[in-house]
Structure 1
Amino acid sequence: MIDIGVNLTSEQFAGDEAVVVAEAQAAGVRTLLLTGTDLADSQAAAELAARWPGVCYCTAGVHPHDAKSVADGWITRLEGLQALPQVVAVGECGLDFNRDFSPRPVQEAVFEAQLALAARLKRPLFMHCRDAHDRFAALLAPWRSQLTGGVLHCFTGDRAELEQCLALDLHIGITGWICDERRGQALRELVPLIPAGRLLIETDAPYLIPRDLSPKPKSRRNSPAHLPHIAATVAALRGESLAALLAHTSAAARALFQLDEAMS
């Protein structure tokens, strides 16, 4: 299994990083992709990933929440991080019009700058979109032919949004949101529509712990060790064996993030 979204730099994991990685490995999660959300966080993610070469990789980018905080020269610093061997994608980047922690024009400018960087460096994108689909697609579409690929992580959109993302040749990241009987029902109906080769699985730990874990864990902190539970749920919804699901999701992740090349 490959968990494409782990926020191992979160304060919720402080001091426990080695335990989290070891427990994930014991659960069958071979590879973890650590998420970078601003320049400092991306540097921290890169330093953590370097502790477990061949097991942990990371992204480097600026999340829309943090777009307002960029300073002069930020894109040059981000390009420098992209040169590190453990960094395999530009992101987390995109738009978030739900919380609007950064002004929308600033979010858009920072997203477009990262699209341009990914196109120039031929790096895949790790992307975020919340309540901003139309604008997200409008900004991404002109760049798509120049990009090597990308994933919309933690997808929770509707069928029309899924179809448009697939038309843009994006990969789709599915989290434990589908294990939430309150919020996940619509997504459960869409998961079978994602073609093999375009579906990726993730925990987004420490967030989005699966609500249907049994027995209920004492901690509400999600962990990459819960990825097998998410994978089994996705496989059942798709009418696939778990082995088949893991084969195509892992192959898709290795190809998108060029992990076989990074491992060599």
Structure 2
Amino acid sequence: MHWTDIAVNLLSGQLAGEIDQTLENAKAAGVHRVVALASDLAEATALQAIQADYPALKLTAGVHPHHASEWASDRVERLVRLIQHPAVIAIGECGLDYFRDFSSREAQRAAFEAQLELAVEHRRPLVLHCREAYDDFIPMVARYRDRLPGAVLHCFTGTADELQAALDLDLHIGITGWICDERRGTELRQLVTRIPDHRLLLETDSPYLLPRDLRPKPKSRRNEPAHLPHIARTVAQLRSQSEQALSELTEANVKQLFQL
């Protein structure tokens, strides 16, 4: 079986010093493709600087809502240059986050809309982020959806209504180790069965969201792509699918969404 981890924060403080080992562990676990997320343009640039050493690594380029206050008109030109890199397969991670509000909501909406426009203009899929902002997020995506090649709502942990709104927009849905948490993941464990086969993707969002039921737990308490098969096993059980079937359908979805 082969797996793709569609969301890894590879340059986070917990992983940046151990990229070689992290990717080796992933490969040994059957995770043959890793997508490294960019949270801002500096991180996108840094990822591209190391990508030559890891030719199998795929990248995104974009501005996370936490960094939306840094958005300015010159960012458009810089982002356009960054998405030309051959390893960049999506714009993102971008969207809205009204839980943290590290940037003003007005700035978040402006940066998000600019990236939606770029995705349409350059025919690039999107890796989307939404937290406690669906009332604004869904209408914004809806205005562009029929012109977008595709998008994944990454790290979905929302409600039944929020899932349905995303599916109505024909978005892919990224499922993390949140589903392995018997306390916080109860609703998600029920909702995962509602995601159509052709819209499901898997991710770790590492180094965050270490699966709560992972045994033995790593001493570092750090999540990494090598734990994706553990998440996949839980998803397969909940959906009454074999792991082989889940691997095949999620790999097909990765190729379709990211135009691989």
Q: For 2:172 and 2:258, how far apart are their aligned partners in 1? A: 11
Spell out, residue by residue over 1:221-264, the C-alpha distance to the aligned partner (whole angstroms, 9 max, x if none).
Answer: 100000000000000000000000010001101111112xxxxx
Q: How does 1:1-264 map to 2 (within 5 A)?
A: 1-53=3-55, 55-259=56-260
Q: For 1:28 and 1:82, how far apart are their aligned partners in 2? A: 28
TM-score by length of 1: 0.96
Give the counterpart letter for 2:25 in structure 1: E
CA shift for structure 1 position 57: 0.4
Structure 2 portions without partners, runs of 5+: none
Percent sequence identity over aligned pairs: 56
Q: For 1:45 and 1:178, how far apart are their aligned partners in 2? A: 29
Report runs of 4+ in structure 1 exceeding 3 Å deviation: none
Q: For 1:255 and 1:225, how far apart are their aligned partners in 2? A: 23
Q: For 1:50 and 1:191, how far apart are their aligned partners in 2? A: 36
Give the counterpart letter for 1:48 in structure 2: I
Structure 1 portions without partners, runs of 5+: 260-264
CA shift for structure 1 position 78: 0.4
Give the counterpart letter for 2:34 in structure 1: L
The aligned residue for residue 262 of structure 1 is: none
8 Å contact 1:29–1:227 — kept in the other structure? yes
Q: For 1:149 and 1:14, how far apart are their aligned partners in 2? A: 29
Q: For 1:49 and 1:167, how far apart are their aligned partners in 2? A: 35
Give the counterpart letter for 2:179 in structure 1: I
Give the counterpart letter for 1:2 in structure 2: T
Helix, strand or coil for the counterpart of 1:30? Answer: strand
TM-score by length of 2: 0.98
Q: For 2:216 and 2:227, how far apart are their aligned partners in 1? A: 12
Spell out, residue by residue over 1:70-90, the C-alpha distance to the aligned partner (whole angstroms, 9 max, x if none).
Answer: 244001100100000000100
Provide the aligned length of Structure 1 versus Structure 2.
258
Helix, strand or coil for the counterpart of 1:166? Answer: helix
Q: For 2:111 and 2:72, how far apart are their aligned partners in 1? A: 11
Give the counterpart letter for 1:9 in structure 2: L
Give the counterpart letter for 2:234 in structure 1: T
Give the counterpart letter for 1:40 in structure 2: A
Spell out, residue by residue over 1:174-196, the C-alpha distance to the aligned partner (whole angstroms, 9 max, x if none).
Answer: 00000111100100000011001
CA RMSD across the alignment: 0.8
Q: For 1:117 and 1:217, how far apart are their aligned partners in 2? A: 40
Q: For 1:134 and 1:113, how far apart are their aligned partners in 2? A: 19
Q: For 2:134 and 2:49, how far apart are their aligned partners in 1? A: 33
Give the counterpart letter for 1:16 in structure 2: E
Could you tell which deviates more after superposition, 214-223 or 32-41?
214-223
Spell out, residue by residue over 1:181-223, the C-alpha distance to the aligned partner (whole angstroms, 9 max, x if none).
Answer: 1100100000011001100000000000001001222111100
Give the counterpart letter for 2:194 in structure 1: L
Q: For 2:118 and 2:89, how far apart are their aligned partners in 1? A: 13
Could you tell which deviates more after superposition, 232-241 or 65-74?
65-74
Helix, strand or coil for the counterpart of 1:245? Answer: helix
8 Å contact 1:38–1:66 — kept in the other structure? yes
Spell out, residue by residue over 1:146-181, the C-alpha distance to the aligned partner (whole angstroms, 9 max, x if none).
Answer: 100000000001111111101101000000000111
Helix, strand or coil for the counterpart of 1:169? Answer: coil
Q: For 2:174 and 2:134, how far apart are their aligned partners in 1? A: 15
